[in-house]
Amino acid sequence: MFDDLMIICRKCEKKVHPSELRKENHNSDTMICSSCYNKAKDISETMEQIKTVKLGNINGIFQYVCEACGFKFTRNKEVFNKSCPYCSQEKIKQINVNIVKEIK
């Protein structure tokens, strides 16, 4: 009955089926398409990660990643060990706060 009904997304102005619409956020009545919703969610999660990393840096705790196995962990700046606590490889890099996730 309503299979051919199309509604315009308030963000990107694409015509989408009503089943693809989501609330922009829990405080808003604005309906946006699932594509715009996922982009906004990715941006929000990335901002939270950046805030967490910056707060850790202020407290002297830094985030690291092992390039060999991909294990992510935190360490106090004074207790830096060159080997990964998971795989014991010496391929540790500090996670950079300035990395911005590209959102397509």
75-80-86 Cα angle (round to 5): 65
Give the domain CATH number at 98.
Answer: 2.20.28
pLDDT for the residue 71: 92
Query: Which pLDDT tens digit goes with each residue over 60-83?
Result: 778 889 999 999 888 877 776 788
My answer on whether 1 and 39 are in the same domain is yes
Q: Is residue 53 part of a domain?
A: no
> Region 34-59: what's the mean pLDDT?
72
C-alpha 31 chain-centroid distance: 22
> Region 85-94: what's the mean pLDDT?
89
My answer on whether 8 and 38 are in the same domain is yes
Integer angstrom CA distances of residue 91 from 3, 46, 58, 75, 95: 54, 25, 24, 15, 13
Q: Which domain holds residue 6?
A: 1-45
Long-range pairs of 51-55 with CB within 8 A, sequence gap ≥ 24: 53/95, 53/97, 54/97
Domain tally, the chain: 2
Which position has the higher pLDDT, 56 or 89? 89
My answer on whether 68 and 31 are in the same domain is no
> Could you give the CA distance from residue 93 to residue 97 in angstroms, rounded to a whole number?
12
Which position has the higher pLDDT, 43 or 68? 68
- For a pLDDT cut of 70, what percent of the chain falls above it? 77
Q: Which residue bears the tokens 């700046």?
A: 77
Residue 103 pLDDT exceeds 50: no
Q: Is residue 76 part of a domain?
A: yes
Report the half-sphere exposure of 47 (CA within 13 A, side-chain side): 6
My answer on whether 40 and 15 are in the same domain is yes
Question: Which of 21-30, 36-45, 91-100 comes out lowest in average pLDDT?
Answer: 91-100
My answer on whether 64 and 96 are in the same domain is yes
Residue 98 pLDDT exceeds 50: yes
